[in-house]
Amino acid sequence: MLTAEAFAATVVADPDVGGASKLLLDGSKLRLASSNVLILDAAAGHPIYSKAADAVTPIASVTKLMTAMVVIDASQPLDEIVTVGIADLDLLRGSHSRLRLGSELPRREMLRLALMSSENRAASSLARHYPGGFEAFVAAMNKKAADLGMTHTHFSDATGLSSENVSTANEVALMARAAAVYPLIRDATTTSSHYVEVQPTGTLLGFNNTNSLVRSGQWDIQLSKTGFIREAGKCLVMLTTIASRPIVIVLLDSVGKLTRIGDANRVKYWLETGEAMPVLRVVKAVKGVIKPRHVTKAAVPKVAGADPLSPTRLAPV
């Protein structure tokens, strides 16, 4: 990897454009407020940009990507009814849920709600109905993480409400790439909204995706998950196509309600143009000005010395 300073204004020949020279991406132009960042070229498997990507930090509901993989790997019937019980109530943080005690849904629907709307009771009920119960489920989560090479990752619950669920930006990217192999996870995390008929009452409830970029329809997103608890800050992980290349974006510990979305839009603009996003576009994208945080020495961005993404026409912001 090269530092941003060494990388700036470097010219290379790109064989994809007939050997014509063009500038490599200048990491100094990408100013992100998220504390832990990884931008990964998923096709080549190499990082394009990173900031404190090896720092261990809570990941909140990004956890649910692992939860979903463990559920699917168990091959339990997806049409089997799963019930919300007392053990699924959040006594740790008192988070709100629209799934009341006794709510019944097929496992498939619980999985969808856990992923797209980050429903904590849905995720908890999936773990509780796992063979061997909650403890066996968490053990399976940690085994799956170890199998994926996530050596600095640890899970204590299926929801991400526990601050003991920790990982790094690099290892979250490993998890996201693994989760993207599952069609059900890709479909659920990129569904904008969904209605379910909750039994035994027959109540029809509508749920929205927690990622506004999915709901906007202006990004080409193949996988998405958000997360938030106080200790983790706002988190966002996506597998998306930018400039005709598959890109994994991991943004952890963002401050403020709109920062992670603003950072994602800044990343997209930078990858497509090689330039910093104008302030006017940032305001338009996130409906508020994002004040950049100071970068500490421990979080100096790194930019990989790889070919830049080919510029394409900007999608509406």
Q: Which spans in the chain are helix H?
A: 4-7, 64-73, 107-116, 120-128, 133-147, 169-179, 183-189, 212-216, 259-273, 279-286
Crossing angle of helices 120-128 and 107-116, in 10° steps, is: 140
Do 250 and 169 touch, CB atoms closer than 8 A? yes
3-state SS, residue 303: strand
Distance of CA 296 to the CA centre of its chain: 24
For the chain, the structural domain boundaries read 35-260
Do 248 and 176 touch, CB atoms closer than 8 A? yes
Q: What's residue 18's pLDDT?
A: 34
Element housing 22 (H / E): strand 21-23
Domain range 35-260, CATH class: alpha beta
Is the predicted pLDDT of residue 80 greater than 60, yes or no? yes
Q: What's residue 256's pLDDT?
A: 84
Residue 232 zone, left/alpha/beta (φ > 0; ψ -120 to 50; rest): alpha
Task: Say which residue, 281 or 274, is predicted with more confidence.
Answer: 274
pLDDT tens-place string over residues 236-274: 999 999 999 999 999 999 988 889 999 999 999 999 999
Is the predicted pLDDT of residue 14 greater than 50, yes or no? no
Distance CA 172, CA 180 (A): 12
Is the predicted pLDDT of residue 301 greater than 60, yes or no? no
Average confidence (pLDDT) over 57-78: 98
Average confidence (pLDDT) over 41-68: 96
- Annotated catalytic residues are 61, 64, 118
Report strand pairing: 245-254 vs 36-41: antiparallel
Is the predicted pLDDT of residue 129 greater than 60, yes or no? yes
Q: pLDDT grade, residue 20 (50/70/90)?
A: very low
Q: What's residue 285's pLDDT?
A: 53
